[in-house]
A and B are shown apart, each in its own frame.
Chain A
């Protein structure tokens, strides 16, 4: 069964460094998402992406964040200058359309020291 994959599974970085989290969505899906989950807290929406542009973003998704679909398969989340509070699990998700289920990847655990 097709699945969303994410790399790396765990990333440790120092405060102020740039990180890129990578996702490969399911191949025939058109909508892509990033969410985060701080330890012990709710899953929070960050950004949605469709037709090569951001369709919606939350107040968390500030100028430090960017997303890109550099080729036909990868979908990336970049954090330009990481802060301690960026430490969280980051999930990528994809779907065929808004009326369909969202499928989530296994997540990347980001630890900022």
Chain B
């Protein structure tokens, strides 16, 4: 059974700092991996999707990498801003639709 773990559970950084969020998964036979942002009491906003054949994806200040063989993904946020404060979730997908989520990293960026 696929288990998805995110470390750290919470992170507080000063504005402007670059940071890395980690996601690991136990079964490397994934179809893709998606990073989401969740604001308190809100839905999930898709940030980046990495297919199993890709190594990384970039969108603005965000860069996500994938090392399928070791079961790891990282989300790099450059020049963090207070507006980046949210919970970041990673989710891995098997070919038969089932998407498994990590518990998330709660990020606080202090002005």
Binding site for B on A (CB under 8 A): 31, 33, 35, 41-45, 48, 55-56, 58, 91, 93, 98-107, 109
Residue of A nearest to B95 (CB): A98
Residues of chain B from 92 to 106 with CB closer than 8 A to chain A in the complex: 93, 95-104
Residue of A nearest to B101 (CB): A43
Q: Main secondary structure on chain A at its contact with chain B?
A: strand
Q: Which residues of B contact A100 (CB under 8 A)?
A: 49
Chain B residue total in the interface (Cβ 8 A): 25
With A104-B45, A104-B46: A44-B101 Cβ-Cβ less than 8 Å: yes
Task: Pick from A41, A44, A56: contact of B97, CB below 8 A.
Answer: A56
When the two chains form their complex, are residues A106 and B32 in contact, meaning their CB atoms are under 8 A apart?
no
Q: Main secondary structure on chain B at its contact with chain A?
A: strand
Q: Which residues of B contact A41 (CB under 8 A)?
A: 103
User: A106–B103 Cα gap in the complex (Å)?
Assistant: 18
When the two chains form their complex, are residues A102 and B103 in contact, meaning their CB atoms are under 8 A apart?
no
When the two chains form their complex, are residues A58 and B98 in contact, meaning their CB atoms are under 8 A apart?
yes
